[in-house]
Protein backbone atom coordinates (compact mmCIF):
# COMPACT_ATOMS: atom_id res chain seq x y z
CA UNK A 1 0.00 0.00 0.00
CA UNK A 2 1.45 3.33 -1.09
CA UNK A 3 0.81 6.28 1.21
CA UNK A 4 0.65 9.61 -0.61
CA UNK A 5 0.25 13.21 0.52
CA UNK A 6 -1.30 15.38 -2.18
CA UNK A 7 -0.62 19.08 -1.55
CA UNK A 8 -2.73 21.96 -2.87
CA UNK A 9 -2.46 25.65 -2.09
CA UNK A 10 -5.07 27.48 -4.16
CA UNK A 11 -8.38 26.84 -5.87
CA UNK A 12 -6.89 26.03 -9.32
CA UNK A 13 -4.76 23.34 -7.65
CA UNK A 14 -7.93 21.50 -6.66
CA UNK A 15 -8.93 21.33 -10.33
CA UNK A 16 -5.63 19.62 -11.09
CA UNK A 17 -5.42 17.30 -8.10
CA UNK A 18 -9.08 16.15 -8.10
CA UNK A 19 -8.83 13.64 -11.00
CA UNK A 20 -5.53 12.33 -9.57
CA UNK A 21 -7.01 11.67 -6.12
CA UNK A 22 -10.07 10.10 -7.77
CA UNK A 23 -7.83 7.74 -9.72
CA UNK A 24 -5.91 6.82 -6.56
CA UNK A 25 -9.16 6.05 -4.77
CA UNK A 26 -10.18 3.76 -7.63
CA UNK A 27 -7.05 1.77 -6.77
CA UNK A 28 -7.84 1.64 -3.06
CA UNK A 29 -6.12 -1.72 -2.71
CA UNK A 30 -2.80 -0.08 -3.62
CA UNK A 31 -3.09 3.62 -2.68
CA UNK A 32 -3.85 5.53 0.51
CA UNK A 33 -4.07 9.21 -0.47
CA UNK A 34 -4.20 12.15 1.95
CA UNK A 35 -5.27 15.57 0.58
CA UNK A 36 -3.65 18.54 2.33
CA UNK A 37 -4.74 22.12 1.63
CA UNK A 38 -2.13 24.57 2.85
CA UNK A 39 -4.64 27.41 2.92
CA UNK A 40 -2.20 29.60 0.97
CA UNK A 41 -5.14 31.30 -0.75
CA UNK A 42 -8.40 31.78 1.10
CA UNK A 43 -11.24 31.83 -1.41
CA UNK A 44 -14.83 32.66 -0.44
CA UNK A 45 -16.03 30.65 -3.42
CA UNK A 46 -14.57 27.46 -1.95
CA UNK A 47 -17.82 26.70 -0.15
CA UNK A 48 -19.53 23.34 0.20
CA UNK A 49 -21.13 23.91 -3.21
CA UNK A 50 -17.68 24.28 -4.81
CA UNK A 51 -16.78 20.72 -3.83
CA UNK A 52 -20.25 19.32 -4.52
CA UNK A 53 -20.70 20.99 -7.92
CA UNK A 54 -17.36 19.83 -9.23
CA UNK A 55 -17.31 16.52 -7.36
CA UNK A 56 -13.94 17.51 -5.94
CA UNK A 57 -12.67 15.77 -2.81
CA UNK A 58 -12.60 17.90 0.31
CA UNK A 59 -9.18 18.27 1.95
CA UNK A 60 -8.40 15.90 4.78
CA UNK A 61 -6.23 18.57 6.41
CA UNK A 62 -6.28 22.38 6.07
CA UNK A 63 -3.11 24.02 7.37
CA UNK A 64 -4.68 27.50 7.22
CA UNK A 65 -1.45 29.41 6.60
CA UNK A 66 -3.17 32.41 4.99
CA UNK A 67 -1.74 35.32 3.04
CA UNK A 68 1.67 36.87 3.70
CA UNK A 69 4.83 37.84 1.85
CA UNK A 70 6.39 35.14 -0.30
CA UNK A 71 9.08 34.40 2.29
CA UNK A 72 6.76 34.34 5.28
CA UNK A 73 4.11 32.30 3.52
CA UNK A 74 6.66 29.74 2.33
CA UNK A 75 8.07 29.44 5.86
CA UNK A 76 4.61 29.00 7.40
CA UNK A 77 3.77 26.23 4.94
CA UNK A 78 7.02 24.42 5.67
CA UNK A 79 6.53 24.65 9.43
CA UNK A 80 2.93 23.44 9.24
CA UNK A 81 3.53 20.63 6.74
CA UNK A 82 6.53 19.02 8.43
CA UNK A 83 4.57 17.44 11.34
CA UNK A 84 1.94 16.15 8.89
CA UNK A 85 4.62 14.26 6.99
CA UNK A 86 6.15 13.03 10.24
CA UNK A 87 2.80 11.64 11.39
CA UNK A 88 1.56 10.20 8.07
CA UNK A 89 4.94 8.92 6.87
CA UNK A 90 4.12 8.98 3.15
CA UNK A 91 5.95 7.18 0.38
CA UNK A 92 5.34 10.13 -1.95
CA UNK A 93 4.36 13.78 -1.80
CA UNK A 94 2.48 14.94 -4.91
CA UNK A 95 2.63 18.65 -5.76
CA UNK A 96 0.91 20.47 -8.62
CA UNK A 97 1.45 23.71 -10.47
CA UNK A 98 3.73 26.52 -9.38
CA UNK A 99 2.37 28.30 -6.30
CA UNK A 100 4.39 28.84 -3.10
CA UNK A 101 2.84 25.70 -1.61
CA UNK A 102 4.30 23.67 -4.47
CA UNK A 103 7.84 24.75 -3.74
CA UNK A 104 7.50 24.72 0.06
CA UNK A 105 6.12 21.17 0.15
CA UNK A 106 8.86 20.00 -2.19
CA UNK A 107 11.60 21.42 0.04
CA UNK A 108 10.13 19.87 3.20
CA UNK A 109 9.64 16.45 1.63
CA UNK A 110 13.10 16.44 0.04
CA UNK A 111 14.80 17.21 3.35
CA UNK A 112 12.81 14.42 4.98
CA UNK A 113 13.88 12.04 2.17
CA UNK A 114 10.32 11.57 0.95
CA UNK A 115 10.00 11.22 -2.80
CA UNK A 116 8.28 14.09 -4.65
CA UNK A 117 6.24 13.92 -7.86
CA UNK A 118 5.62 17.25 -9.62
CA UNK A 119 2.54 17.52 -11.83
CA UNK A 120 2.98 20.18 -14.58
CA UNK A 121 6.75 19.91 -14.43
CA UNK A 122 9.03 21.55 -16.97
CA UNK A 123 6.96 24.64 -17.82
CA UNK A 124 9.17 27.69 -18.32
CA UNK A 125 8.45 31.33 -19.14
CA UNK A 126 12.15 32.26 -18.82
CA UNK A 127 11.01 35.28 -16.81
CA UNK A 128 12.55 35.29 -13.35
CA UNK A 129 10.52 38.36 -12.36
CA UNK A 130 7.55 35.99 -12.04
CA UNK A 131 7.54 34.30 -8.60
CA UNK A 132 5.95 31.25 -10.22
CA UNK A 133 9.02 30.74 -12.40
CA UNK A 134 11.25 30.55 -9.32
CA UNK A 135 8.86 28.02 -7.77
CA UNK A 136 8.93 25.88 -10.93
CA UNK A 137 12.70 25.80 -11.24
CA UNK A 138 13.30 24.89 -7.59
CA UNK A 139 10.54 22.28 -7.52
CA UNK A 140 11.81 20.58 -10.65
CA UNK A 141 15.41 20.57 -9.42
CA UNK A 142 14.38 18.64 -6.30
CA UNK A 143 11.56 16.39 -7.54
CA UNK A 144 12.08 12.66 -8.05
CA UNK A 145 9.39 12.26 -10.71
CA UNK A 146 8.63 15.04 -13.18
CA UNK A 147 5.24 14.65 -14.83
CA UNK A 148 5.11 16.91 -17.88
CA UNK A 149 2.12 18.23 -19.85
CA UNK A 150 3.89 18.71 -23.20
CA UNK A 151 7.00 17.66 -25.11
CA UNK A 152 8.59 21.12 -24.83
CA UNK A 153 8.52 20.71 -21.04
CA UNK A 154 10.54 17.50 -21.43
CA UNK A 155 13.13 19.40 -23.47
CA UNK A 156 13.31 22.17 -20.87
CA UNK A 157 14.11 19.67 -18.14
CA UNK A 158 16.72 17.84 -20.19
CA UNK A 159 18.47 21.16 -20.93
CA UNK A 160 18.58 21.80 -17.18
CA UNK A 161 20.35 18.51 -16.58
CA UNK A 162 17.44 16.50 -15.19
CA UNK A 163 18.00 12.75 -15.60
CA UNK A 164 15.78 11.37 -18.40
CA UNK A 165 14.56 8.50 -16.23
CA UNK A 166 12.90 11.02 -13.89
CA UNK A 167 10.83 12.60 -16.68
CA UNK A 168 7.44 11.22 -17.77
CA UNK A 169 5.29 12.90 -20.41
CA UNK A 170 1.72 12.33 -19.24
CA UNK A 171 -0.37 15.17 -20.73
CA UNK A 172 -2.39 17.97 -19.18
CA UNK A 173 -4.41 17.00 -16.11
CA UNK A 174 -6.32 20.32 -16.10
CA UNK A 175 -7.95 19.14 -19.32
CA UNK A 176 -9.20 16.03 -17.49
CA UNK A 177 -11.23 18.32 -15.22
CA UNK A 178 -12.42 20.50 -18.09
CA UNK A 179 -13.58 17.56 -20.19
CA UNK A 180 -15.29 15.99 -17.18
CA UNK A 181 -17.28 19.17 -16.47
CA UNK A 182 -17.94 20.64 -19.90
CA UNK A 183 -21.34 19.01 -20.33
CA UNK A 184 -22.29 19.74 -16.72
CA UNK A 185 -21.47 23.42 -17.26
CA UNK A 186 -24.21 23.60 -19.92
CA UNK A 187 -26.76 23.68 -17.10
CA UNK A 188 -25.44 27.10 -15.99
CA UNK A 189 -27.64 30.08 -16.80
CA UNK A 190 -24.72 32.52 -16.73
CA UNK A 191 -25.31 33.71 -20.32
CA UNK A 192 -28.86 34.70 -19.44
CA UNK A 193 -27.77 36.38 -16.22
CA UNK A 194 -25.21 38.48 -18.08
CA UNK A 195 -27.53 39.07 -21.05
CA UNK A 196 -25.10 37.82 -23.70
CA UNK A 197 -25.67 35.47 -26.62
CA UNK A 198 -23.60 32.48 -27.67
CA UNK A 199 -20.55 33.32 -29.82
CA UNK A 200 -21.42 37.03 -29.73
CA UNK A 201 -19.18 38.33 -26.94
CA UNK A 202 -15.63 38.42 -25.61
CA UNK A 203 -14.41 37.45 -22.14
CA UNK A 204 -11.57 39.10 -20.22
CA UNK A 205 -9.72 38.17 -17.02
CA UNK A 206 -6.93 40.29 -15.58
CA UNK A 207 -5.03 39.91 -12.33
CA UNK A 208 -1.23 39.94 -12.73
CA UNK A 209 0.64 42.79 -11.02
CA UNK A 210 2.36 43.72 -14.29
CA UNK A 211 -1.06 44.54 -15.73
CA UNK A 212 -3.05 45.93 -12.83
CA UNK A 213 -0.63 47.52 -10.35
CA UNK A 214 0.42 50.41 -12.60
CA UNK A 215 -2.29 53.00 -13.33
CA UNK A 216 -1.11 53.85 -16.84
CA UNK A 217 -0.86 50.20 -17.87
CA UNK A 218 -4.29 49.33 -16.47
CA UNK A 219 -5.85 52.41 -18.07
CA UNK A 220 -4.36 51.44 -21.42
CA UNK A 221 -5.75 47.91 -21.26
CA UNK A 222 -9.19 49.18 -20.27
CA UNK A 223 -9.15 51.75 -23.09
CA UNK A 224 -8.31 49.00 -25.58
CA UNK A 225 -11.07 46.86 -24.13
CA UNK A 226 -13.57 49.71 -24.55
CA UNK A 227 -12.73 49.92 -28.25
CA UNK A 228 -13.08 46.16 -28.68
CA UNK A 229 -16.47 46.43 -26.95
CA UNK A 230 -17.64 48.72 -29.74
CA UNK A 231 -17.42 45.64 -31.96
CA UNK A 232 -19.03 43.17 -29.57
CA UNK A 233 -19.70 43.09 -25.80
CA UNK A 234 -16.84 42.24 -23.44
CA UNK A 235 -17.60 40.36 -20.22
CA UNK A 236 -14.96 41.37 -17.68
CA UNK A 237 -14.72 38.96 -14.72
CA UNK A 238 -13.03 41.29 -12.24
CA UNK A 239 -10.48 39.72 -9.88
CA UNK A 240 -10.49 41.18 -6.33
CA UNK A 241 -6.95 42.53 -6.81
CA UNK A 242 -7.99 44.22 -10.04
CA UNK A 243 -11.18 45.59 -8.47
CA UNK A 244 -9.12 47.18 -5.69
CA UNK A 245 -6.74 48.82 -8.19
CA UNK A 246 -9.61 50.13 -10.33
CA UNK A 247 -11.04 51.89 -7.28
CA UNK A 248 -7.63 53.06 -6.07
CA UNK A 249 -6.86 54.62 -9.47
CA UNK A 250 -10.30 56.26 -9.73
CA UNK A 251 -11.40 54.26 -12.78
CA UNK A 252 -14.82 53.08 -11.58
CA UNK A 253 -16.75 55.85 -13.33
CA UNK A 254 -14.91 55.23 -16.60
CA UNK A 255 -15.89 51.55 -16.55
CA UNK A 256 -19.47 52.33 -15.57
CA UNK A 257 -19.79 54.60 -18.61
CA UNK A 258 -19.13 51.69 -21.00
CA UNK A 259 -22.52 50.04 -21.66
CA UNK A 260 -21.02 47.18 -23.70
CA UNK A 261 -18.47 46.32 -21.02
CA UNK A 262 -20.22 43.82 -18.75
CA UNK A 263 -18.61 43.66 -15.31
CA UNK A 264 -19.07 40.64 -13.07
CA UNK A 265 -17.51 39.29 -9.91
CA UNK A 266 -15.23 36.23 -10.29
CA UNK A 267 -17.36 33.29 -11.35
CA UNK A 268 -17.47 29.72 -10.13
CA UNK A 269 -15.79 27.08 -12.28
CA UNK A 270 -18.92 25.78 -14.01
CA UNK A 271 -20.26 29.28 -14.70
CA UNK A 272 -16.92 30.44 -16.07
CA UNK A 273 -16.49 27.32 -18.20
CA UNK A 274 -19.95 27.85 -19.70
CA UNK A 275 -19.12 31.53 -20.30
CA UNK A 276 -15.79 31.30 -22.07
CA UNK A 277 -16.62 28.11 -23.97
CA UNK A 278 -19.41 30.07 -25.67
CA UNK A 279 -17.36 33.21 -26.38
CA UNK A 280 -15.88 34.48 -29.66
CA UNK A 281 -12.61 35.66 -28.08
CA UNK A 282 -10.84 35.55 -24.71
CA UNK A 283 -8.38 38.12 -23.34
CA UNK A 284 -6.46 36.90 -20.30
CA UNK A 285 -3.24 36.88 -18.32
CA UNK A 286 -4.05 33.50 -16.78
CA UNK A 287 -2.08 30.36 -17.58
CA UNK A 288 -4.87 27.79 -17.37
CA UNK A 289 -7.22 29.72 -19.64
CA UNK A 290 -4.61 29.58 -22.41
CA UNK A 291 -4.73 25.78 -22.24
CA UNK A 292 -8.49 25.38 -22.06
CA UNK A 293 -9.22 27.77 -24.94
CA UNK A 294 -6.70 25.84 -27.05
CA UNK A 295 -8.60 22.59 -26.52
CA UNK A 296 -11.93 24.30 -27.21
CA UNK A 297 -10.64 26.10 -30.31
CA UNK A 298 -11.44 29.60 -29.01
CA UNK A 299 -9.10 32.47 -30.00
CA UNK A 300 -7.14 33.70 -26.97
CA UNK A 301 -5.02 36.83 -26.52
CA UNK A 302 -2.56 36.52 -23.64
CA UNK A 303 -1.83 39.93 -22.14
CA UNK A 304 1.73 39.04 -21.15
CA UNK A 305 5.14 39.25 -22.79
CA UNK A 306 5.75 35.52 -22.47
CA UNK A 307 4.09 32.24 -21.63
CA UNK A 308 5.22 29.06 -19.90
CA UNK A 309 2.78 27.23 -22.19
CA UNK A 310 4.18 27.87 -25.70
CA UNK A 311 2.38 24.83 -27.08
CA UNK A 312 -0.83 26.86 -26.87
CA UNK A 313 0.75 29.22 -29.43
CA UNK A 314 2.44 26.70 -31.72
CA UNK A 315 -0.47 24.25 -31.82
CA UNK A 316 -3.41 26.13 -30.37
CA UNK A 317 -5.34 29.37 -30.58
CA UNK A 318 -3.20 31.55 -28.31
CA UNK A 319 -1.43 34.79 -29.27
CA UNK A 320 1.04 36.54 -26.95
CA UNK A 321 0.26 40.26 -27.25
CA UNK A 322 1.64 41.95 -24.10
CA UNK A 323 -0.17 44.95 -22.64
CA UNK A 324 0.34 47.62 -25.31
CA UNK A 325 -3.17 49.02 -26.04
CA UNK A 326 -2.66 49.42 -29.79
CA UNK A 327 -1.38 45.87 -30.17
CA UNK A 328 -4.25 44.48 -28.08
CA UNK A 329 -6.81 46.26 -30.29
CA UNK A 330 -5.09 45.20 -33.52
CA UNK A 331 -4.75 41.54 -32.51
CA UNK A 332 -8.30 41.35 -31.14
CA UNK A 333 -9.87 42.71 -34.33
CA UNK A 334 -7.63 40.49 -36.45
CA UNK A 335 -8.67 37.41 -34.46
CA UNK A 336 -12.32 38.34 -34.93
CA UNK A 337 -11.98 39.05 -38.65
CA UNK A 338 -9.62 36.20 -39.53
CA UNK A 339 -10.35 33.15 -37.38
CA UNK A 340 -7.47 30.70 -37.37
CA UNK A 341 -7.91 27.24 -38.89
CA UNK A 342 -9.15 24.59 -36.51
CA UNK A 343 -6.26 24.10 -34.07
CA UNK A 344 -4.70 20.78 -33.27
CA UNK A 345 -5.35 19.59 -29.72
CA UNK A 346 -1.93 18.98 -28.14
CA UNK A 347 -0.73 15.43 -27.68
CA UNK A 348 -2.22 13.57 -24.69
CA UNK A 349 -4.58 16.42 -23.77
CA UNK A 350 -7.26 13.75 -23.93
CA UNK A 351 -8.82 13.62 -20.47
CA UNK A 352 -6.83 10.54 -19.39
CA UNK A 353 -3.80 12.21 -17.83
CA UNK A 354 -4.68 11.28 -14.23
CA UNK A 355 -4.51 7.59 -15.13
CA UNK A 356 -1.06 8.03 -16.64
CA UNK A 357 0.12 10.01 -13.59
CA UNK A 358 -0.91 7.29 -11.16
CA UNK A 359 0.57 4.60 -13.43
CA UNK A 360 3.87 6.53 -13.49
CA UNK A 361 3.97 6.76 -9.69
CA UNK A 362 3.40 3.03 -9.39
CA UNK A 363 6.07 2.25 -11.96
CA UNK A 364 8.59 4.65 -10.40
CA UNK A 365 7.99 3.07 -7.00
CA UNK A 366 8.69 -0.40 -8.33
CA UNK A 367 11.73 0.89 -10.22
Rounded to 5°, the CA angle 111-7-276 comes to 140
Alpha helices in 143-185 (DSSP H): 151-159, 173-185
Rounded to 5°, the CA angle 250-254-256 comes to 110
User: Cα(276)–Cα(181) distance, rounded to whole angstroms?
Assistant: 13
Distance of CA 27 to the CA centre of its chain: 27
Q: Considering only CA atoms, which of 94, 148, 145 is closest in space to residue 121?
A: 148
For residue 264, CA distances in Å to 153, 275, 302, 324 come to 35, 12, 20, 24
Q: Considering only CA atoms, which of 262, 231, 245 is closest in space to residue 328?
A: 231
**In sequence order, what are the beta bridge partners of 6?**
35, 94
User: Cα(168)–Cα(310) distance, rounded to whole angstroms?
Assistant: 19
User: Cα(290)–Cα(61) distance, rounded to whole angstroms?
Assistant: 31
**In sequence order, what are the beta bridge partners of 284?**
302
User: Cα(124)–Cα(113) distance, rounded to whole angstroms?
Assistant: 26
Q: What is the 3-state secondary structure (H, E, C) of 68-110?
A: CCHHHHHHHHHHHHHHHHHHHCCCEEEEECCCHHHHHHHHHHH
Is residue 207 annotated as a catalytic residue, yes or no?
yes
**Residue from 41, 207, 330, 338 carrying the catalytic annotation:** 207
Q: Considering only CA atoms, which of 180, 4, 27, 209 is closest in space to residue 96?
A: 4
Contact between 319 and 302 (Cβ < 8 Å):
yes
Positions marked catalytic: 207
Amino acid sequence: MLRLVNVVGARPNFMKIAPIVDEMRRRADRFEPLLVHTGQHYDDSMSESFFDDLEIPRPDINLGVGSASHAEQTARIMLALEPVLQDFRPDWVIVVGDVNSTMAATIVASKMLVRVAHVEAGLRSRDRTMPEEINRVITDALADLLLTPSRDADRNLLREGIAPEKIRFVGNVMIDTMRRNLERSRKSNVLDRLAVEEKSFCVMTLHRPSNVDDKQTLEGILDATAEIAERLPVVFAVHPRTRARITEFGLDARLASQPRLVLTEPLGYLDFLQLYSNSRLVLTDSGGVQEETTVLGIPCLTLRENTERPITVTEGTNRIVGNDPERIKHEALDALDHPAPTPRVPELWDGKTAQRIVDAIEEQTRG
